[in-house]
Structure 1
Amino acid sequence: MTAVNKVAIAGSGVAALAAAIQLAKAGVEVDVFEAKPELSALGSGITLQGNALRVFDRLGVWEAVRDAGYPFEGLNLRAPGPGAPIVAELPDVKTGGPDYPAGMGMYRPDLARILVDRAEEVGVRIHWASKVTGLSDDGQAVEVLVDGESAGRFDLLIGADGLNSTVRGLIGIDTAPRPTGMGIWRSSVSRPADVTRSELYYGGPVYIAGYTPTGEDSMYAFLVEKAEDRFGVDDAEANRIMIAESQAYQGPWEAIRRDLEAGARVNYTWFTSHLVDAPWNRGRAVIIGDAAHSCPPTIAQGAAQALEDALVLTELLTERDHLDQALWDEFHARRLPRAKAVVDASVQLGQWQIDGDRDADAAGLIFGIAHRMAEPA
């Protein structure tokens, strides 16, 4: 027995597809509704901590993820200026346990394709160009409206539809992401042979300059700056800004700038944060992942926390016989404190950068959270 037999999921990100895969593996009928017309082939890189890799193993995609990405151990800190000297080589906590690397970089569209393929393999129905626009919960089932028309009655609607979640609003939750004061430029570029782990530069004209390898021949580079209205700039101007802001950084940044000069694609977003207090559900609808919480990627736990939301929720749904208050109480007890710890720490790290607080114990905070994440969700 499972607590649900038929589930609708809004969204197609990591939380949505992880939940879909786990439910379908247990024999639950799953429909995923995604507003985008198709799976995007464009995107930037993503850094995945070990506890995210542990979830991928549970989903049955770890080998595919490992082969598509770039596993690594540790983190280098470099100084700006001539030669970009390495000032510290930090070990990573293996948050996924000894069977997985401490961290991994990969291209986001590659991860999305792996998860979509796995979901379809286990029987998930994915509906593209299909936006959840309404719901009606009578206590026994939830009717889901897609593009204004009924898509049927389901035992549960999971809103995993991202930062600007429609489902969050539909169930009456008004908590929403707030800018933290930082913006980030990202670009996918070629990987110099000497880049074998994430490297960060502190100091200089931006808060953080860094890059993470995503494959044998690729990595993504990023610059974290004070948030500005950059959203109207064209591609050429975006490249020009990223080249100009990176001039203080040498070492592998020399190669990165050559790729930017050749027209490497650049995107810009603001860091946000929010955390919905319990409960994340209203009756037979629940939000998870970025719909429920977001934070700056200062400790690279965003994807891991979204995956853990999905894993814990589906574990309860497939091991219990009833969708009752006891199930929701356990879900919130297991997820809210952990998500809150990550959001708070991530925001604090960013604020220390904004404030220029050189006495802050950033390493202590990072390693403290990492040790906590090493305990399974």
Structure 2
Amino acid sequence: MPRTVLVLGGGTAGNALTVLLRRDGHLVDLVEAKPDWNASAGSGITLQGNALRVLRDVGVLDDVLRDGFPFNDLGILDPAGTVLAVQPGVSFGGDDLPATVGMRRPRLQQILIDAVRASGATVRLGLTATGFDQHDDGVGVTFSDGTRQRYDLVVGADGLNSATRRLIGIDDVPVPTGMAIWRAPVPRPSGVEHTQMIYGGACFIAGCCPTGPDTAYAYLVERNRDRATIAPSTYADEMLALAKDYGGPWPEIQEALTDPELVNYTWFDRLLVDGPWHRGRVVLVGDAAHACPPTLAQGAAMSLEDSQVLAELLAAHDVWDDAVLTEYRARRYERVRTVVDASVQLGQWLLDGVRDADVPGLMGRTMAVLAGRP
């Protein structure tokens, strides 16, 4: 008899999990708070090999490779734009996958939305869960429209500021790391065939990642500021002011920074739920359980791996009890902790101006972990 699962949150982790659970024959309701399913949110995303491996399992890899921009190298430039080094990438997904794919985040979201729709899952938009009534064999859920439904399992995939996390009494909250990032979608500058990063100058990092044949996203990382002091109408001007002295691809990028509504400003946060990731039959995945700065570009990959591991464990066990959900967290915790800690440490070294930091050592240790099984 198929079991019933409620997935709260229709982002990368929730969408992927929904497709995987439907493939295993479960009856899945996906509930997303945003009426538009976040179909147009974000500028760009960097997907490394371990993320691509999960997307292949979900069945959308061909679409991602077609609509994104696969590459294998990373370019390091000085603030004037001179190439200092081109480092070969490492594919954590296997030799048959590119090391990295850059793509427009709205396009990835639409690919996953289409996969959810095709899976036959029930989708309810503009809705949230407001309460859980836990039982040994399931969860009664009350929704914001006053309706109630019972499920065998509820999965909170509702992001960094997860309401599910709060509702089940997990008190961990995101903590700012001291950095912030400006992002904007732009036309792909000439000669940008892989991510190009500049360290130093007006910002800690000035980067550009191709997201398609004609598109890219540009980003600038600086010390965080009080967001209340920055009017959204000035976002393009703020990003231009920070970018004005950079060379390389940045003169072309600057020409495209004209619309403040296309510029996003976000603080970096750290989150890692140290205790159990579940209460009863409600369990967390993705940013609801852990989140880190994008200094390693592993946020989406960690969330996708959560979904894959949880789906595997649910498929392998006839009884969905505390032991299964505890095993899920045990499979994930050390790997996620390594990524979260390394991502934060890389940023902290920049904040502290440490010039002799053991970046190669930290990267090597982190890559060794990522090369293993999720």
* Bin for the TM-score computed over the shorter chain: over 0.9
Matches of 1:307 and 1:214, distance apart in 2: 19
Q: Is the 8 A contact 1:183 1:270 kept in 2?
A: yes
The answer for the alignment partner of 1:265 in structure 2 is: 262
- Out of 124, 127, 140, the position equivalent to 1:127 is 124
Shift in Å at residue 364 of structure 1?
A: 2.4
Question: Distance between the aligned counterparts of 2:132 and 2:244, measured in 1?
Answer: 51
1:54 aligns with 2:53: yes
1:65 maps to amino acid = V
Does the residue aligned with 2:219 lie in a helix, a strand or coil?
A: strand
Cα offset, 1:92, TM superposition: 1.2
Counterpart position of 1:226: 223
- Number of aligned residue pairs: 373
User: Residues 186-197 of structure 1: matches in 2 within 5 Å?
Assistant: 186-197=183-194
Alignment equivalent of 1:340, drawn from 316, 332, 337: 337
Specify the code of the residue in structure 2 equivalent to 1:367.
G
Asked whether the 8 Å contact 1:134–1:148 carries over to 2, the reply is: no
Deviations 1:276-297 (A, max 9, x none): 0131010000011000001000
Written as runs of structure 1 = structure 2, the 5 A alignment for 1:214-293 is 214-230=211-227, 233-261=230-258, 265-293=262-290
Give distance in 2, aligned partners of 1:253 and 1:38. Answer: 33
Change (3 A) 1:274 1:209: same
Aligned counterpart, 2:347? 350
Shift of 1:375: 1.7
Structure 1 match to 2:304: 307
Please state how far the C-alpha of 1:319 moved relative to its aligned partner. 1.5
The Cα shift of 1:232 comes to: 5.9
Alpha-carbon distance in 2 for matches of 1:191, 1:163: 30
Question: Counterpart in 1 of 2:321?
Answer: 324
- Aligned pair partner of 1:91 in 88, 91, 94: 88
Contact 1:7 1:155 in 2 (8 A): yes
Q: Which amino acid aligns with 2:267?
A: W
Write the letter of the residue equivalent to 2:276.
P
Instruction: Name the counterpart of 2:25.
Output: 27
Instruction: Give the TM-score taking structure 2 as reference length.
Output: 0.97
TM-score normalised over the length of structure 1? 0.96
* Alignment partner of 2:291 out of 290, 294, 310: 294
Unaligned runs of 5+ in 1: none
Asked if the contact 1:188/1:264 (under 8 Å) is kept, the reply is no
Once the two structures are superposed, residues 232-289 of structure 1 have per-residue CA deviations (whole angstroms, 9 ceiling, x without a partner) of 6445411111111112211110000000146672110000001001310100000110
Deviations 1:197-238 (A, max 9, x none): 001100111111101000000000000011002356445411
The reply on whether 1:66 has 2:43 as its aligned counterpart is no
Answer 1 or 2: higher relative contact order, Cα 8 Å, separation at least 6.
1
Among 356, 360, 363, the alignment partner of 1:363 is 360
> Structure 2: where are the runs of 5+ without partners?
none
Is 1:37 equivalent to 2:35 in the alignment?
Answer: yes
Looking at structure 1, the residues matched to 89 and 267 of structure 2 have their Cα atoms a distance apart, in angstroms, of: 26
Q: CA RMSD in A?
A: 1.4
Higher mean alpha-carbon deviation, 158-167 vs 365-374, is at: 365-374
Are the counterparts in 1 of residues 281 and 321 from structure 2 also a CA contact under 8 Å? no
Identity %: 47
Which whole-Å CA distance do the structure 2 matches of 1:162 and 1:222 have between them? 22
**Matched position secondary structure for 1:349:** helix
CA distance in 2, matches of 1:337, 1:16: 22
Which of 154, 161, 165 is residue 164 of structure 1 equivalent to? 161
| Contact kept? 1:278, 1:336, Cα under 8 Å | no
Q: Secondary structure of 1:297's partner?
A: coil
- SS of residue in 1 equivalent to 2:257: helix
1:56 maps to amino acid:
L
Paired position in structure 2 for 1:10: 8
* Inter-partner Cα distance in structure 2 for 1:97 and 1:41: 31
Separation in structure 2 between the aligned mates of residue 235 and residue 257 of structure 1, nearest angstrom: 18
Instruction: Summarize the Cα distance change of 1:31–1:199 in structure 2 as closer, same or farther, 3 Å threshold.
Output: same
- Indicate whether 1:78 and 2:77 are aligned: yes
Matching residue's letter, 1:58: D
